[in-house]
Amino acid sequence: MDEIEVRNLLEGIRKGSIDINSGVERLKMLPFDDINYAKIDFHRSLRNGFPEVIYCENKSAGQICEIAERMSLKGVNVLATRISRDKFGELKKQIVNAEYFSDSRVAVIKNREIIKTECKVCVVSAGTADIPVAEEAVITAEFFGNSVERVYDVGVAGIHRLFANIEKIRSCDVVIVVAGMEGALASVVGGLVESPVIAVPTSVGYGASFGGVSALLTMLNSCASGVTVVNIDNGFGAGYMAATITRAIARKRER
Amino acid sequence: MDEIEVRNLLEGIRKGSIDINSGVERLKMLPFDDINYAKIDFHRSLRNGFPEVIYCENKSAGQICEIAERMSLKGVNVLATRISRDKFGELKKQIVNAEYFSDSRVAVIKNREIIKTECKVCVVSAGTADIPVAEEAVITAEFFGNSVERVYDVGVAGIHRLFANIEKIRSCDVVIVVAGMEGALASVVGGLVESPVIAVPTSVGYGASFGGVSALLTMLNSCASGVTVVNIDNGFGAGYMAATITRAIARKRER
Amino acid sequence: MDEIEVRNLLEGIRKGSIDINSGVERLKMLPFDDINYAKIDFHRSLRNGFPEVIYCENKSAGQICEIAERMSLKGVNVLATRISRDKFGELKKQIVNAEYFSDSRVAVIKNREIIKTECKVCVVSAGTADIPVAEEAVITAEFFGNSVERVYDVGVAGIHRLFANIEKIRSCDVVIVVAGMEGALASVVGGLVESPVIAVPTSVGYGASFGGVSALLTMLNSCASGVTVVNIDNGFGAGYMAATITRAIARKRER
Amino acid sequence: MDEIEVRNLLEGIRKGSIDINSGVERLKMLPFDDINYAKIDFHRSLRNGFPEVIYCENKSAGQICEIAERMSLKGVNVLATRISRDKFGELKKQIVNAEYFSDSRVAVIKNREIIKTECKVCVVSAGTADIPVAEEAVITAEFFGNSVERVYDVGVAGIHRLFANIEKIRSCDVVIVVAGMEGALASVVGGLVESPVIAVPTSVGYGASFGGVSALLTMLNSCASGVTVVNIDNGFGAGYMAATITRAIARKRER
Amino acid sequence: MDEIEVRNLLEGIRKGSIDINSGVERLKMLPFDDINYAKIDFHRSLRNGFPEVIYCENKSAGQICEIAERMSLKGVNVLATRISRDKFGELKKQIVNAEYFSDSRVAVIKNREIIKTECKVCVVSAGTADIPVAEEAVITAEFFGNSVERVYDVGVAGIHRLFANIEKIRSCDVVIVVAGMEGALASVVGGLVESPVIAVPTSVGYGASFGGVSALLTMLNSCASGVTVVNIDNGFGAGYMAATITRAIARKRER
Amino acid sequence: MDEIEVRNLLEGIRKGSIDINSGVERLKMLPFDDINYAKIDFHRSLRNGFPEVIYCENKSAGQICEIAERMSLKGVNVLATRISRDKFGELKKQIVNAEYFSDSRVAVIKNREIIKTECKVCVVSAGTADIPVAEEAVITAEFFGNSVERVYDVGVAGIHRLFANIEKIRSCDVVIVVAGMEGALASVVGGLVESPVIAVPTSVGYGASFGGVSALLTMLNSCASGVTVVNIDNGFGAGYMAATITRAIARKRER
Amino acid sequence: MDEIEVRNLLEGIRKGSIDINSGVERLKMLPFDDINYAKIDFHRSLRNGFPEVIYCENKSAGQICEIAERMSLKGVNVLATRISRDKFGELKKQIVNAEYFSDSRVAVIKNREIIKTECKVCVVSAGTADIPVAEEAVITAEFFGNSVERVYDVGVAGIHRLFANIEKIRSCDVVIVVAGMEGALASVVGGLVESPVIAVPTSVGYGASFGGVSALLTMLNSCASGVTVVNIDNGFGAGYMAATITRAIARKRER
Amino acid sequence: MDEIEVRNLLEGIRKGSIDINSGVERLKMLPFDDINYAKIDFHRSLRNGFPEVIYCENKSAGQICEIAERMSLKGVNVLATRISRDKFGELKKQIVNAEYFSDSRVAVIKNREIIKTECKVCVVSAGTADIPVAEEAVITAEFFGNSVERVYDVGVAGIHRLFANIEKIRSCDVVIVVAGMEGALASVVGGLVESPVIAVPTSVGYGASFGGVSALLTMLNSCASGVTVVNIDNGFGAGYMAATITRAIARKRER
């Protein structure tokens, strides 16, 4: 039941073509009866033109294409994460303006101008092997209207590289730190900047890194304050959180 | 080596009293030579009057008192976390304006007016047993100048209580969700609000809750975007992260 | 917003005292506006006279007494789990008809006749050390109107004791199996009965029993079908699940 | 030793052709001597026509075919779980009325009319990736004579979708909740329905989901009562447990 | 149903006072009807005079005394493990010939001569802190009629001590190795002797010894063949297994 | 330094061609100087004709062939475990009397008559999927001269199958129980037999079986006495331990 | 900012072409402004001709080639670890003097004479399957100028092989022990030598070896003093640590 | 068999009072026959005057005193670790020159001058709560003759404090890094110094620090080379390893 139907119902009431008892009955069930209407009430992402996201890992090319087309028809921008090159090939056949970022396995469909937030996000990574996850964060943050600074390969084994870039990092509104192995970079950055720091453990490493668990624990136990953590390899989650923060900044400025 | 020494060095060069070779040598070692100078460059908390925090778990009453007095002498506000009632008793003898919050075992020493951020933080908790951790987050967020809304005891077993308060939660700039046992509340809230959500797993629970590990994993795997996680029972960390975000908002508005 | 308000709104529309636009607006926010209305829709436990449960582990004697009194005023029966003898002493002072079951640390306040389900629940335990958890399940199942058969100390190390009681177990509508150490009893019982089996791992054991994890894993991996599992030491949860099943049986018979 | 042999033995005793001492000896060893007889006493599945199940994961196509044929000869219905398309191809060659459900990798051989239970089971899933496990539960529950309602893709990140279907869920006798990632859906559903809830964690997720462990722990620690748990990805187990419960309902009604 | 009843039944059949049909019916249910009869068939410990064991950890002094008296009345020897000094005090009041071994917290009640096996068991321990567990194994092995050699404090950090005793160890029929910390001693002994080796990990250690898990894993992964493992700190289990092996030796010699 | 060299040294001493001081020096270092001599003192497997074992998992076909040939030249029997069909193909080309057991991936080279122990080992398995591990135990036990009884597919979900075979199991000198999933079979068997029981957890299972960890913990925590455990899937280890026990029996009889 | 720029700055000050205020400003930011200069201050590996290392696991052949060429241009020696044969093929095309060690998957590019340390490192391994990791340690230690003794296949199951080589091991300045399965070799060696022992757990093993965790825990809990541990399979790390120690020896001798 | 007996044997050979065959036999068994002789060959700590260590955790005051006295009689220095104040009180009564270091719960008995190594060890700690473990390392390193520099409270949250002390750290021959929580300090120091780094994880932290496991994993996965790890809280182990390294330096210089 969308707004038009509610309006029709109320007009039927006014005109007397619908009696009050059956109006009450229909309204009682309202938020449960109709998925489209319900979405308007409950869900945050239904404002006009707000971007949408498809997580592609367990979806077939067919499913992805269908969802992407339905979204594109609404005229919103679409971000597709963890999409393989093969599945993107299928998508590209249907939606010609789809773009692929192979490092991060992300696809973007721009159906309208991205509204800029005037905020800067810095994505810092420890090693070159962390770059795919870092790039997923970058594309996500940009997709939601942020400028992004990349500071890559500045792990703590050669900490001078970090210091050489510290002012660039400090100048950003939100900092994302992507690190595998022992994940110590998040603590060091957290001790050097004033902005909120989002730490992303990666599954890079071997032996007792346990697929990212070591870096995850390091980051959760960070002795530096102002550091929070997302799931292992979840570059998208970090980029989205950064976008949530810059949106909070933007909202406040508008008021 | 502070600014005056650098200036003296350069003036010595100009006047010819210091030759260029030994000037180069002294400058090479510069960032390691002097703690005061180093602090100015590296450390974020040395601007006048910025609040300071003491983590009291492994410190004696004597150590806490000494640190708190030294900080108070600088005229800054002091937050002491995880301080037992006994240790606070000792502190109170020395610093009469110290206040104790027994729910969260936090002490606050206000040596100057707290500067308000004009931002609101909402602290949501699942059960009554999570309140000590929630209150640590509340006091921390308030200490850094934020208004705080408390929405307690709204766990997912009785989800109508959450919905009854959803507009209050949505009206805040940052949301902190504190939950033990299975920690599902963070995902539900994350799906209902637009603001950044900081999830705090608590060690409340029994059996296979493993001292908070179950809630921690739930939160890290949250299917809702815009959720990040801090360490188990780390209410302070969540409150501090919220303050970091509202500070980012404030900084941006000033520009 | 309750039914009367909806009716008033529609009548206002009909009479023209409310215009259609503001009617649409008010209806959009409807499910979030009013806690009482929401409760009616969402919450299952608000039918008159249905029993209520208090989990006492992290609540003070004062909190428990207050909740118990408020519930008693509604005339419902009250079950208080994990209540220490000391806290029960406080409760008894206020509510004279409170009864204590010391084995299981459960208290019961009977404010009305318990409605019988005409179903039988069998609680089977492996060793004597598992009895506190088993008794929590027994009291819970009885509290919700079921007859309970106890078959204790029939662990698989002396499996003849189990067989000597198998017909008694088979005659029940639901079977709860409580076992620590290696927890193998649940699989054996699951292979011998047709009724649903609810397995409760207990923290009884030492060394590599890891506080109940060994028994929990055994039960989750049970090669017998028709076995489900609740949390370690969660006798209440098993008793409640049994009651949920017998209630489903009762509901169906009434139709 | 089957019934005929026991009868012969007793007739021998009566006729005097067997003396009492050797009769006692033979009877002492009775339940161990003969697998066929033993089965009658111990095993639940030997009533005529009751369905049988084959777990195919570690069996060869040849083994599966042989077991299925032997069962079919008895005229019972056969459910084969975790059977690959290839192995099903072999089976189909031998048993023409075998049906394949590719989503759930389940095969069904209907050798007689399925007896309906007049009960409804609802299978609720969080995401599209959980559907294979959910379908295994669906086919299993239907195979044992239940009607099944599917409510898919209603995870807590968009909780309005769940509420839009809540009455359908509430109308069922047993509810199965299938969820991966953080598994929070089970707690939310458990708080909204009166029926028994069987939770199935799935291995869907990444990073710290640890192949379903995160969802498993969430479900075990569920703050909602009336929730029990089966093994990770064990859709069959949940469907079978649901059938066990509806059979308990049916048995009770017959009396 | 004991032997007499079976005999009466058969005599009733012979005399015609019981008809064959009802005889068949009664015999069908036979192994489940009567605990005493069942015990004869199923349970191994009912031969006259065989020793019995009480695990005291979760039993009250009263329960222990009652069980011990009932056993003593049968004239069998009794071993009580994990019995505290306090509980033993109570036991001693009732049963004067009870003996206490404080190192291992074991009590022994000798009601008849222990029958010797003519076998030797060697108990080897790594450090002095492992001695309580080692002594539990010693007392258990002796209680079941074995001679025991003790070789203590021969951990691999000073491996010459082990070699100095190797012939004594090699001369025994079964070897028990008790070790905490890294538990390497079991592998070394396993590589040096021909007899079966039973390894007992102990919870001695700190840090990453994780309460015996490190030693347990070491022993399970032993590169030496002929090594099996019991639970952490389970000296009794090792002693009992040794006794089971020497009993097998004794049985074979008798034939 | 082999025996001849020692003899030469002593003869040199006698003849005076070597002085006593340098004799003492050379003898001090003796057990470390020469691998062949050392082996005679330390190693148990060098008596003539005793069988040898090759673990093939991380060895190339070439390495396996070389070792097998060297052993065969000594005229001893050879057991090769975890050898793939391909590697066996290579081995067969070189050593024509090599036999392959494909179920257990074991090869045997009989270079002399196997000496019988006159002992019986029973290998009991829970499910058909456990058979490869069970067969590894069977072949190993037979290789060391034991008769083996197989009792397969007697898991606790249908416990009557176990009882139908219990006398066969009880008649053996050592019992090996092989079980995956929840591993409960070991406890049940342990409670029914007098012989030593060696439990082998297998990696059969899914979800929370964690590759055999669940079965391993079940077996370690077995409430039945007289049960010890080997590593996951280590059928060879169990067979070897059984052989160690029967060898102990045989040695004792010879005396 | 490199040394030349600093020199130019100071000369500008002296000549008056740069005023003192802007000189102070530029120097303040100095260690962060320029990666080359920073490296001189912070980083240990920039002394002329010191060898460099490339970890190749997550790098493309193209990236490896580029880095290797850049390093070779500086005339330093290059060690590339975890480089596959394919990637090495690409490297060899570009850099003809590159050498490949296929056992350890290490490549070495010698651009100058390796300076000898006059120290000896002993690499001891438990089994043949540990050799790849052992060889990585060997090549690394040699690359940094050490002589290396190999003592392979001396695991504790046949401890005489270790003793036969003990004097060779004792004669070295640093000992590396490489072992999988239960990892007990490190403790035994640690108890026999005076030199520092670096233990490397390997992922060799099966079942409860958990990919090297069992060996890792054994080594961390070693009862022998003077043993430290590196990550699972980290032969390079052990070789590098050994080189660090021998470099410390060399430095001290030079003074 | 000590040297004298060997000498006597050889003289017997020479004189002909012992024939060669029986000489060969006696020599074959030599390393196992006599503990004193064996000790000389195998054990490293029996040279005169070398210090000895007592680990006191699981020893009674009486045991500690007896061992300490026996050692003191040999005139060697004694180090007693993990000794409580109470136990030290007992020790002090017997051995007046015993000294107690309460921070680290270590006692030292100096019976002769400590021989200086001319090496410096630096002990770096992250927080004040890590000091007890750090001090255990300090006292141990000093006890074995090293000079020690303390650099405490330089955790990565305020990394400027580390840099202010970096030259002091770099000037030492071995560096020990002690850190709890996330343990990142070891990686940072490892990237800044050339000396060998020994990392000690501590159990300081809360929530997901899991009693030191988080710091342990961080250190094992350190991206900096030249870092090795000892057990959690094992300050003694780190100090001893440092002493082993400086002893290796000293030995080399002597040659």
Closest by CA to A149, choosing from A167, A136, A168, is A168
Q: Which residue of H has its CA nearest to A179?
A: H223
Average pLDDT over residues B4-15: 79
Whether residues B187 and D222 touch (CB distance < 8 A) is answered with no
Whether residues G14 and B11 touch (CB distance < 8 A) is answered with no
Q: Which residue of E has its CA nearest to D38?
A: E28
Which percentage of chain H shows pLDDT scores above 90? 51
Residues facing E244 on adjacent strands: none
Whether residues B155 and D219 touch (CB distance < 8 A) is answered with no
> What are the distances in angstroms from CA G196 to CA C131, D187, H123, H243?
54, 54, 18, 9
Predicted pLDDT of residue C136: 97
- Name residues whose C-beta falls within 8 Å of residue A19's C-beta, 6 or more positions apart in sequence: none
pLDDT tens digits for H53-102? Answer: 888 988 889 989 988 998 888 788 999 999 999 999 999 999 999 999 99
Q: How far is F222 from chain D (nearest CA, A)?
A: 21
Average pLDDT over residues H114-135: 93
Chain E adjacent subunits, 3+ CB pairs under 8 A: C, D, F, G, H
Touch criterion met for E and B (3+ Cβ pairs within 8 Å)? no
pLDDT band for position F52 (cuts 50, 70, 90): confident
User: Which among E159, E183, E223 is the nearest to G157, CB-wise?
Assistant: E223
Residues of D in contact with C228 (CB under 8 A): 198, 228-230, 237-238, 241
Chain C adjacent subunits, 3+ CB pairs under 8 A: A, B, D, E, F
Q: How far is H215 from chain B (nearest CA, A)?
A: 14
Residues of A in contact with B119 (CB under 8 A): 252
User: Which among H7, H13, H41 is the nearest to F10, CB-wise?
Assistant: H13
> To the nearest whole number, what is the mean pLDDT of chain H?
85
> What are the distances in angstroms from CA A243 to CA A145, B179, E211, F156?
8, 24, 45, 55
Average pLDDT over residues D43-72: 75
- Name residues whose C-beta falls within 8 Å of residue B80's C-beta, 6 or more positions apart in sequence: B53, B54, B56, B64, B68, B88, B91, B106, B107, B108, B109
Q: How far is C104 from chain F (nearest CA, A)?
A: 23
- Joined together, the tokens standing for residue D175 give 């509810």
pLDDT tens digits for B85-103? Answer: 999 999 999 999 999 999 9
Whether residues C204 and E39 touch (CB distance < 8 A) is answered with no
Task: Round to whole Å and give the CA distance between G165 and G158.
Answer: 13
Closest by CA to A126, choosing from A218, A200, A236, is A200
- pLDDT of residue F29 exceeding 80, the answer is no
Whether residues G163 and F32 touch (CB distance < 8 A) is answered with yes
Predicted pLDDT of residue E17: 87
F192, F171 in Cβ contact below 8 A? no
The more confidently predicted of residues C206 and B212 is: B212
Q: Which residue of G has its CA nearest to B38?
A: G28
Task: Round to whole Å and give the CA distance between E167 and E171.
Answer: 6
> To the nearest whole number, what is the mean pLDDT of chain B?
84
Closest by CA to B103, choosing from B120, B86, B121, B82, is B82
F138, F150 in Cβ contact below 8 A? yes
Which percentage of chain F shows pLDDT scores above 70? 86
Average pLDDT over residues B187-213: 90
Size of interface D-F (CB pairs under 8 A): 52
Closest by CA to G210, choosing from A213, B207, H208, is A213
- Name residues whose C-beta falls within 8 Å of residue G31's C-beta, 6 or more positions apart in sequence: A160, A163, A164, B30, B31, B41, G37, G38, G41, G42
B217, A67 in Cβ contact below 8 A? no
Predicted pLDDT of residue G41: 35
Whether residues G221 and E213 touch (CB distance < 8 A) is answered with no
Residues of A in contact with G60 (CB under 8 A): none
Whether residues D223 and B156 touch (CB distance < 8 A) is answered with yes
E68, E91 in Cβ contact below 8 A? yes
Task: Return residues 32-71 of C near A (CB < 8 Å).
Answer: 32
H or E stretch at C120: strand C120-125
Whether residues H28 and F40 touch (CB distance < 8 A) is answered with yes
Interface with chain B: mutation pick from C26, C28, C30, C32, highest number of B CBs within 10 Å: C32
- pLDDT of residue F199 exceeding 90, the answer is yes
User: Which DSSP symbol is given to E211?
Assistant: G
pLDDT tens digits for F201-243? Answer: 999 888 888 889 999 999 999 878 889 999 999 999 999 999 9
D71, C221 in Cβ contact below 8 A? no
Touch criterion met for G and H (3+ Cβ pairs within 8 Å)? yes
Q: Which residue of D has its CA nearest to B193?
A: D157
- Joined together, the tokens standing for residue A99 give 């773009």
Residues of D in contact with B192 (CB under 8 A): 159
Whether residues H206 and B233 touch (CB distance < 8 A) is answered with yes
> To the nearest whole number, what is the mean pLDDT of chain F?
84
Beta-sheet pairing, F78-81 with F106-109: antiparallel
Predicted pLDDT of residue E36: 29
Residues of G in contact with F203 (CB under 8 A): 207
Predicted pLDDT of residue F228: 95
Residues of C in contact with A36 (CB under 8 A): none
Predicted pLDDT of residue D11: 85
Predicted pLDDT of residue C4: 66
- pLDDT of residue C48 exceeding 50, the answer is no
Predicted pLDDT of residue G107: 97
The more confidently predicted of residues E42 and G13 is: G13
Q: How far is D223 from chain E (nearest CA, A)?
A: 29
> DSSP per residue over chain A, as a string?
--HHHHHHHHHHHHHTSS-HHHHHHHHHTHHHH-HHHHHHHH-GGGSTT--EEEE-TT--HHHHHHHHHHHHHTT--EEEES--HHHHHHHHHH-TTEEEETTTTEEEE--SPPPP-S-EEEEEESSGGGHHHHHHHHHHHHHTT-EEEEE-S--GGGTHHHHTTHHHHHTSSEEEEEE-TT-THHHHHHTT-SS-EEEEE-S---GGGGGGHHHHHHHHT-SSSSEEE--TT-HHHHHHHHHHHHHHHHHHHH-
Predicted pLDDT of residue F158: 76
pLDDT band for position B28 (cuts 50, 70, 90): low
Q: Which residue of E has its CA nearest to F247?
A: E195
Residue H214 in 3-state DSSP? helix
Whether residues E31 and D16 touch (CB distance < 8 A) is answered with no
pLDDT, tens digit only, all 255 positions of chain A: 446 667 788 888 888 888 887 777 666 544 433 322 223 233 333 333 467 888 898 888 998 998 888 888 878 899 999 999 999 999 999 999 999 999 999 999 999 889 899 999 999 999 888 999 999 999 999 999 999 999 998 988 878 788 888 889 999 999 999 999 889 999 999 988 989 999 999 998 888 888 899 999 999 998 888 899 999 999 999 999 999 999 999 887 766
H80, H105 in Cβ contact below 8 A? no
- pLDDT of residue D227 exceeding 60, the answer is yes
- Joined together, the tokens standing for residue C255 give 């139709």
Task: Round to whole Å and give the CA distance between H20 and H26.
Answer: 10
Q: How far is H205 from chain B (nearest CA, A)?
A: 9
Whether residues E160 and H41 touch (CB distance < 8 A) is answered with yes
pTM of the model: 0.82
Whether residues E31 and D30 touch (CB distance < 8 A) is answered with yes
**Mean pLDDT of each 10-residue bin along chain G, 255 residues long:** 68 85 64 31 39 86 89 86 96 95 95 91 93 96 96 86 86 95 91 93 88 92 89 96 93 71
Beta-sheet pairing, D147-151 with D120-125: parallel
pLDDT tens digits for C76-133? Answer: 899 999 999 999 999 999 999 999 999 999 999 999 899 899 999 999 999 888 999 9
Report the 3 state secondary structure along chain F: CCHHHHHHHHHHHHHCCCCHHHHHHHHHCHHHHCHHHHHHHHCHHHCCCCCEEEECCCCCHHHHHHHHHHHHHCCCCEEEECCCHHHHHHHHHHCCCEEEECCCCEEEECCCCCCCCCCEEEEEECCHHHHHHHHHHHHHHHHCCCEEEEECCCCHHHCHHHHHCHHHHHCCCEEEEEECCCCCHHHHHHCCCCCCEEEEECCCCCHHHHHHHHHHHHHHCCCCCCEEECCCCCHHHHHHHHHHHHHHHHHHHHC
Q: Which residue of D has its CA nearest to C249?
A: D249
User: Which among B32, B43, B232 is the nearest to H166, CB-wise?
Assistant: B32
Touch criterion met for E and C (3+ Cβ pairs within 8 Å)? yes
Residues of G in contact with F42 (CB under 8 A): 158-160, 163
> What are the distances in angstroms from CA H211 to CA A31, B163, B173, B211, F168?
48, 39, 35, 12, 50
Q: Which residue of C has its CA nearest to A14?
A: C14
- Lowest mean pLDDT of C13-27, E100-114, F88-102, name the range: C13-27
Task: Round to whole Å and give the CA distance between H154 and H177.
Answer: 10
Interface with chain E: mutation pick from H43, H130, H213, H231, highest number of E CBs within 10 Å: H231
User: Which DSSP symbol is given to H87?
Assistant: H
Residues of G in contact with F233 (CB under 8 A): 206-207
H or E stretch at C148: strand C147-151
- Residues counted in chain G: 255
Task: Return residues 134-173 of B near D (CB < 8 Å).
Answer: 155-159
Q: How far is F141 from chain D (nearest CA, A)?
A: 25
- pLDDT of residue E8 exceeding 50, the answer is yes
Whether residues D42 and F167 touch (CB distance < 8 A) is answered with no
Q: How far is A191 from chain G (nearest CA, A)?
A: 16
G195 reaches E (C-beta below 8 A): no
Size of interface C-F (CB pairs under 8 A): 119
Predicted pLDDT of residue C206: 82
Residues of F in contact with C223 (CB under 8 A): 126-127, 155-157, 181-182, 184
Whether residues H129 and B233 touch (CB distance < 8 A) is answered with no
- pLDDT of residue H29 exceeding 50, the answer is no
